[in-house]
Structure 1
Amino acid sequence: MGHAARDSLFRGSVGSENTYHTSPSAAGSSVYALNPDGGRATPNEYGVYHDNHSAENLDEQAGGVGQTPQRTYLAEKRSAYAAPPRKKRGIIILAAVAGLVVIVLVIALPVYFTTKKKNNDDLSGGASGGSSSGGGGGGNPGSNAVVTGGNGSKVTLANGTTFTYQNDFGGTWYWDQNDPFNNNAQCNSWTPPLNQTFVPGTTRIFGISIGGWLVTEPFIVPSLYEKYINASTVAVDEWTLSTNMRADTSNGGINQLEDHYKTFITEQDFAEMAGAGFNYVRIPLPYWAIEVWDGEPFLEGVAWQYFLKAIQWCRKYGLRINLDFHSLPGSQNGWNHSGKLGSINVLNGPMGVANAQRSLDYIRILAEFISQPEYSDVVTMFSVTNEPAANDFGQDPLERYYVQAYNIVREASGTGAGKGPYIVLHDGFVGLPQWTGFLPNSDRVALDEHPYLCFSTQSDAPITSYTSTPCNAWGSEFNTSNGAFGLTISGEFSNAVTDCGKWVNGVNQGSRYEGDYYQGSWPTIGSCDSWNDWQSWDNATKAGYKQFAMASMDAFQNFFFWTWKIGASSVSGTVEAPQWSYQLGLQNGWLPTDIRQSSGICPNQNIWSPPFQPWQTGGSGAGQIPASATQDLTWPPPTLSNSGFATNAASFPTYTPTGTLTTLPGPTFTTSSGKSQGTASAGDGWANPSDTQKAMTPVSGCSYLDPWVGPTSPPAKCKAGGGGDRRRAYPPTPSPT
């Protein structure tokens, strides 16, 4: 979430409109590629895109789209519980065998039930996993442990508890401890299972973000921050939160963050996301999931262990992941979700080059991990930098940085087009049209914008007056970009039309709506109480929010709602930013139970007609970027912004590639076959063994400014040579229990 912290981001507001449109989108929108001939469905064809789970002929109803998961599930279930063949025997033979059968049963039954219980208890495993191992359930021959299921089936968690899987859209889960990288799961009937290719433009991205989990934000998890609201240094971001927690040893110290990771998002959340109709999950990840350097108070490495769990859970429920590199060293935008509220120090100021070098290293480490065959079918999108503030430091250095990131990610996946994840580039708040023509013929690059109404001019118009606003505000822009650039997504959006909600703008920073926002002079529009008191919303208000959400989805076509869950305040005991919680909206009726209902909300928006150009989806010409397109985008940038002036970047300090390279560990899965046990191969963390460049590290003997120093005058540049290594302020944290 981006616009809240800086006045310079104001965009003209879109006035609310009292029109309510229900006519369908133009034929050829991406959703209609799911229907016959890619055109608009006739009434008889409409069932192709919708499910009827009471019918037996799911193969015919699916219209050839994806798989028919209930049939797959039933076939495997019948195979697992198949009755033995019945053969006629004489009475004498039966009598002779009876005694032997009794003896066998006395011995076998205890073994069978012991094995079955163990396998059921292991259904949720430990850490994570991911790749395609094809079909089949794996596991021990003869074992009757249930490894897959559809709507209404029972799922057993690692702690032995169970829940009933609810998925009305034909989704099937799949988990076998002895086959932990199996990709048979399918989140719903209109999305290919993980062992088949997801093609944007043929299948829509219905995405949900998991904010506040591995990167905390005060408005998403207020209870973590409320604890330190009266501290000598108030917790306003994860930096100050971590500092307060480290001093709070009586309450668990910094390990309180792991308690949050364990409880805020669990496996059942992923099951619910699949059951809500989503097919993609955008997961923000901070750089401290990999490592920290000297003086940085963050909890090192533990978030990565929970990201591994997320991979396992997404694999189990057939969800794909958009890995979002959300928080960069030095901060790419100065907002609290970047790790530290304050100044921008990536591509900006005296440490702007050095911090960008370090960030590119982390992009490389992440890309090498997710490009391994064990994970590449689950983590299929990589948002290389969340919300870089190019509107502050300029588009030119960001373009140069993106060229480096593109080359790094593609090198990690090896030679040949169509390998590795989609690379997602945020527009840097300069607008989608400014990126037309960037990286032509690049291999599977998507453009990302985060459209929000709530951080500009405020209005007391009711939510029911905004039903068509998203269509008019964003539909044409996204349609044009899909054709001019290629795949264009909304990586974030919400149901908020005002900036009401506890700490939506930051801790103690007020709101524009109530006129007490800490920056600028804002007229008081009214009280936020009615916007926050979701328990009192009437049916018309809930219907208005639902319609606004669906209009947004249709306008964007491919999207990720921000965010799945908002935690309750420890002071009030309730959620105080309701427009941002998809889970809360589902539970209380202001978000659609069938997300596909959003298709057709926006009329006459010149909906972009698929498919994309072949090179945009990894086909012919992909990766063949003309040399002329990048010849003026050399690295590092010749100039960077420093205190508002363009400064020669050659005078800035840089790091040197002589450091010890960090690789990320995979999960551990214990498998069994008969009486023997083993460990499933989870990769070594590095997809491309030819990628051997060492890590960026401070030059030995050089003195550097603090990476978070802000745009002050730079010192003399350190001369290359030597090879110091990085130091940590805190010892590495043990792996989670």
Structure 2
Amino acid sequence: MSPNNPHSPNIPYDPLPLTQDQPGDFLHNDPPSPHASGFDTPPVEMTHFSDSVPSGAPNPRFLGRALYDDPSMNFRDSYASQNTFQTAPSAANSSVYALNPDRATPTQAEFAGTYHDDPRDTENNAAATSGSNYLAEKRSAYAAPRNKSKRGLIIGAAIFAAVIVLVAVIVPIYFTVIKPKSSTDSAAAASSAAANPTSTAQPGSTNVVTGGDGSKITTEDGTTFTYSNPFGGTWYWDPKDPFNNNAQAQSWTPPLNQTFQFGTDRIFGVNLGGWLTTEPVSSIFIAPALYEKYQTTTPQAVDEWTLSQAMAADTASGGLQQLETHYETFITEQDFAEIAGAGLNFVRIPLPYWAIETRSGEPFLAKTAWKYFLMAIQWARKYGIRINLDFHALPGSQNGWNHSGKLGTVNVLYGPMGLANAQRSLDYIRIIAELISQPEYRDVVVMFGITNEPQGSMMGQGVLERYYMQAYDHVRTASGVGEGNGPYISYHDGFLGLNQWTDYLPNADRISLDQHPYLCFEGQSDSPMSSYAQTPCSDWAAGVNTSMASFGMTTAGEFSNAVTDCGLWVNGVGLGTRYEGTYTPGTWPVVGNCSTWTDWQTWDSTMKTGIEQFALASMDALQNWFFWTWKIGNSSVSGVVESPQWSYQLGLQNGWMPTDPRTAAGTCADQGLYSPPLKAWQTGGAGAGQIAASVTASYAWPPASISNGGPVSSLPSYTPTGTVATLPPPTFTITSGSSVTTANAGDGWQNPSDTASGMVGIATCSYLNPWIGDAAPPSPLCSGATARAVPRSLFTAAPARRS
């Protein structure tokens, strides 16, 4: 595996001035600072909102403060702001990056003339690539042979060249295709072999099952395209061996049959937003054509709930099945091939709860998104890409925002249905964990974001921590403890800030902290794009460095290139933009016309270079990241992308995204880049999972009370007496001669000892609508003398592994 090699030297800079906002209400016309920045956090208060906001609704997304309450402080006093302490060493001097230094950098002159094995590094490998100096020295030392036939030399040289070619071909194939997994993964390899007993190739077969840059890909539907990957990636797909993990995204990323070393290997990721969840702020502006069709209907489509209702009523156009057409066409196999060819090695895939099931009154297309997530696993496996499965939309809504399925109120860990919805959500987490922990999937789906963007300030951090602990228990019950046993568990910071989670669950097995930093949803500025070149470095790098060293694995699950909120429906349908002074609720000054930021067809080289520099700074500051998002669909009205700074693909096609994400290294000069590795227990090694009993006791489930709901004893809750809705695995049919067999794809349940039933209602008890918002709990909760006990904690010992 090649080390990361920064081609751009450290860039000295003078930090941009950060203008202190004057005290006052940030929803008024106070002039914003030139580079007001922060995370997509809610405001502290609900003020200046229209009367139409439902009672109990959360603070609107992206209205976080970034005010300096005390200029003498070294940090910003807001929910998710980070301090800007600068510590050594710089990125370029980190042990990770010193392996292949840029000789032009003075601090790395000591490495000049040393061996470099990165084939991309034409500067440092000049002697190896040109050979001119080497030959000149040889000719000066040895006289030319006399009176000797050249024929023998030519023949010998030809034989020697042929041997070199054979070695060059066979050695990479051996190490990336033939070589089995390491002894630590022997059990998984044995399971895979047992699942695929038939031959992986028929005699005389000419079907190509692997290839690299320039090879021809034929998809299942017969379409073809050329695989373009200049980074040494190899794809692998044999339909007779469907769980083979030989593929490799790039030469510097371990193939799927080798361990990805979190904290040492870098995550260069991208979200597949707007695909399996189609909501703002996510898919209304990502796939606007879906929603534009239903802007004059009743109901008007403003989230997936109302979109589903409008589609269901539109039987002439295919009804709700129109969503499946979107699943089929928006993201395809070729997207995964392009992602690997862009130097990216991870995808984060938002998945809604209705991929598993829906219950009474919920209008979503049930169980269909799961079919396409299984396709995503197959495509990711083919191109060597790893998956972070993000549980994006929970029943009742975890944040009241459009992207949770329904715009309105928070009903998970908040309000009268907060406990019941959390119980149901934990069931879905358990169901997902059981499937992805199976040997057939665990090397591809290696991260599990168990809840996207919960409103931590409304729920209370203590309640959220208990919920997270219970989710941890579900995942580890499914997978077991230790490296290779199921996914990393990713916790969103709940908009409370990375520093609030420093001491959470010491010795927990492979947990990761997730943040979503954005600049664009706060104070707006008409400063040119070039002025943001180092803003991510000053705003984000220090917080990430601290979190990696103290908490452990820390990622940015979302970020974008947007520095203003311009773009079609970026804030939601009909909500306008802060930049143009049309955003509601609140009163916003007019900063400018959004065409400057949306008419990408007219952008000049200065604008494109400015965006690319911002992207590089973001990547370097965040270290392990997932850009939001891979692609933006065309508007059905204008026929073009209307939110260009959110599309990685469009940026690659038009020259404002880096063609190699590794070139970001060193962009944030002197920011004290975190130096790996993580602690052993943080990566599944010694001590992993040995959480002290006193710690688990402090996170006992359920909590004593729920915010805006009251004591849990007075709230509706579910009981574990229902059937668990297990997820179906894919089906692979293998034909060998006249025999037809089906490959073992697992049964959807990794741990047979996990036999608890699913959470359902008690027949004699009363329940509110799961999406109710503010309401009084039913009284009495249950009729007659029915006994009602809140289910106790489900903490269990480490389960036995499935054979």
Q: Bin the TM-score by the shorter chain.
A: 0.7 to 0.9
In 2, Cα distance between the equivalents of 1:44 and 1:341? Answer: 60
Query: Structure 1 CA distance, aligned partners of 2:347 and 2:537?
Result: 24
TM-superposed deviation, 1:259? 0.3
Deviation at 1:161, TM superposition (A): 1.6
- Greater shift, 331-340 or 632-641, is seen at 632-641
Q: Does 1:441 align with 2:507?
A: yes
Opposite residue 584 of structure 2, the aligned amino acid is: Y
CA distance in 1, matches of 2:111, 2:712: 60
Query: In structure 1, what is the equivalent of residue 498 of structure 2?
Result: 432
Cα 1:712/1:384, change in 2 over 3 Å: same
**Alignment correspondent of 1:243:** 309
Within 5 Å, give how 1:20-419 maps onto structure 2: 25-28=91-94, 42=111, 47-49=116-118, 51=120, 138-216=200-278, 217-414=283-480, 416=482, 418-419=484-485
CA displacement, residues 97-125 of structure 1 (integer Å, 9 cap, x when unaligned): xxxxxxxxxxxxxxxxxxxxxxxxxxxxx
Contact 1:69/1:171 (8 A) holds in 2: no
| Residues 33 and 203 in structure 1, CA contact (< 8 A), matched pair in contact too | no
Is the 1:670–1:679 contact (alpha carbons within 8 Å) kept by the matching residues of 2?
yes
For residues 114 and 626 of structure 2, the distance between their equivalents in structure 1, rounded to whole angstroms, comes to: 28
Q: 1:542 aligns with which of 585, 602, 608?
A: 608
2:610 matches 1:556: no
Q: CA deviation at 1:405?
A: 0.3
What aligned pairs does 1:564-603 form with structure 2 within 5 A after superposition? 564-603=630-669
Give the aligned partner of residue 555 of structure 2.
489
Inter-partner Cα distance in structure 2 for 1:443 and 1:186: 26
User: For residue 330 of structure 1, what is the amino acid of its counterpart?
Assistant: G
Identity over aligned pairs, percent: 60
Structure-1 residue corresponding to 2:746: 683
Alpha-carbon displacement from aligned partner over 1:522-579 (angstroms, at most 9, x marks no partner): 1111111110000011001100000000100000110000000011100111101001
CA distance in 2, matches of 1:554, 1:77: 29
The answer (yes or no) to whether the contact 2:61–2:401 under 8 Å persists in 1 is no
The separation in 1 between residues aligned to 2:664 and 2:169, in whole angstroms, is 25
Tell me, in whole angstroms, the C-alpha distance in 2 between the residues paired with 1:321 and 1:208: 10
Aligned residues: 651
Deviation readout 1:140-179 (Å, 9 max, x if unpaired)? 2442211000000000011112100000000000000000
For residue 649 of structure 1, what is the amino acid of its counterpart? V
What is the CA–CA distance in structure 1 between the aligned matches of 2:393 and 2:530, rounded to whole Å? 36
Give per-residue Cα distances to partners, 1:434-472, cap 9 Å, x unaligned.
Answer: 001100000000000000000111111011000000000
Residue aligned with 1:551, SS = helix
Q: Is the 8 A contact 2:716 2:766 kept in 1?
A: no
Report the CA distance between 1:47 and its aligned residue. Answer: 4.6
Query: Contact 2:100–2:116 (CA<8 Å) still a contact in 1?
Result: no
How big is the shift at 1:32?
5.7
1:654, CA displacement in angstroms?
0.2
Q: Which residue, out of 564, 580, 590, partners 1:498?
A: 564
What SS does the aligned partner of 1:700 have?
coil
TM-score by length of 1: 0.84
**1:520 and 2:586 matched:** yes
Amino acid at match of 2:715: F
The structure 1 residue matched to 2:737, chosen from 648, 651, 674, is: 674
| Distance in 2 separating the partners of 1:664 and 1:317 | 24
> What displacement does 1:649 show?
2.4
CA distance in structure 1 between the aligned counterparts of 2:175 and 2:199, rounded to whole angstroms: 8
CA contact 2:300–2:306 (8 Å) conserved in 1: yes
Question: Following the alignment from structure 2 to structure 1, what is the Cα–Cα distance between the partners of residues 677 and 231?
Answer: 25
Task: Tell me by how many angstroms 1:626 deviates.
Answer: 1.3
Provide the residue aligned with 2:60 in structure 1: 6
Between the aligned partners of 2:482 and 2:534, the Cα distance in structure 1 is: 43
Change (3 A) 1:228 1:332: same
1:49–1:634 distance in 2 versus 1, CA, 3 Å: farther
CA offsets 1:376-417 (integer angstroms, 9 cap, x no match): 000000000000010222111100000000000000013556
User: How big is the shift at 1:24?
Assistant: 6.6
Q: Distance in 2 between matches of 1:342 and 1:163?
A: 44
CA contact 1:346–1:355 (8 Å) conserved in 2: yes
CA 439–515 in structure 1, closer or farther in 2 if over 3 Å, else same: same
The secondary structure found in structure 1 opposite 2:597 is helix
Please tell me the residue identity of whatever aligns with 1:275: G
Structure 1 residue 49: deviation in Å?
A: 4.8
Residue 638 of structure 1 corresponds to which residue in structure 2? 704
Structure 2 equivalent of residue 703 of structure 1 = 766
Provide the C-alpha distance between the structure 1 equivalents of 2:481 and 2:522, rounded to a whole number of angstroms.
Answer: 45
Distance 1:44 1:701, change over 3 A: farther
**Any conservation in 1 of the 2:212–2:234 contact (CA below 8 Å)?**
yes
CA contact (8 A) 1:364 1:412 kept: yes
Distance change (3 Å), C-alpha of 1:641 and 1:330 = same
Q: How far does residue 634 in structure 1 lie from its aligned partner after superposition?
A: 1.4
> Alpha-carbon deviation of 1:628?
2.1
Amino acid at match of 1:718: L
Name the CA shift for 1:70/1:206 in 2 (closer, same or farther; >3 Å).
farther
1:655 paired residue number = 718
* Structure 1 CA distance for aligned equivalents of residues 358 and 100 of structure 2: 45
Distance in 1 separating the partners of 2:712 and 2:602: 56
Distance 1:191 1:34 in 2: 16
Q: 1:69, CA displacement in angstroms? A: 10
Amino acid aligned to 2:525 = S
The Cα of 1:265 is off from its aligned counterpart by 0.4
Letter in 1 for 2:312: R
CA distance in 1, matches of 2:117, 2:760: 56
Give structure 2 stretches of 5+ with no counterpart: 1-38, 43-58, 68-75, 82-88, 130-166, 179-189, 790-803
Amino acid at match of 2:566: C
CA distance in 2, matches of 1:327, 1:581: 22
Partners of 1:29 and 1:460 in 2: how far apart?
A: 39
Contact 1:206–1:559 (CA<8 Å) still a contact in 2?
Answer: yes
Please report the TM-score for the alignment, with normalisation by the length of structure 2.
0.77
Alpha-carbon distance, 1:233 to partner: 1.5
Q: Secondary structure at the match of 1:609?
A: coil
Q: Distance in 2 between matches of 1:78 and 1:397?
A: 47
- For the aligned residues, what is the CA RMSD? 2.9
Query: How has the CA–CA distance of structure 1 residues 395 and 648 changed in structure 2, closer, same or farther, with 3 Å as cutoff?
Result: same
When residues 418 and 316 of structure 1 are mapped into structure 2, their CA distance, relative to the original with a 3 A threshold, is closer
1:639 is displaced (CA, Å) by 1.7
What is the CA-CA distance between 1:722 and the residue it aligns to? 9.9
**Partner Cα separation in structure 2 for residue 693 and residue 260 of structure 1:** 36
The question of whether the paired residues in 2 share the 8 Å contact of 1:700 and 1:721 is answered with no
Structure 2 residue matching 1:465: 3-state secondary structure: helix
Contact 1:441 1:616 in 2 (8 A): yes
SS in 1 for 2:513: strand
Which residue is equivalent to 1:716? 779
Using the TM superposition, give the Cα deviation of residue 8 of structure 1 relative to its aligned residue in structure 2, in angstroms: 7.7
Q: What amino acid does structure 2 have at the position aligned with 1:420? A: G
Counterpart amino acid of 1:539? S
Change (3 A) 1:237 1:50: farther
Equivalent position amino acid for 2:210 in 1: T
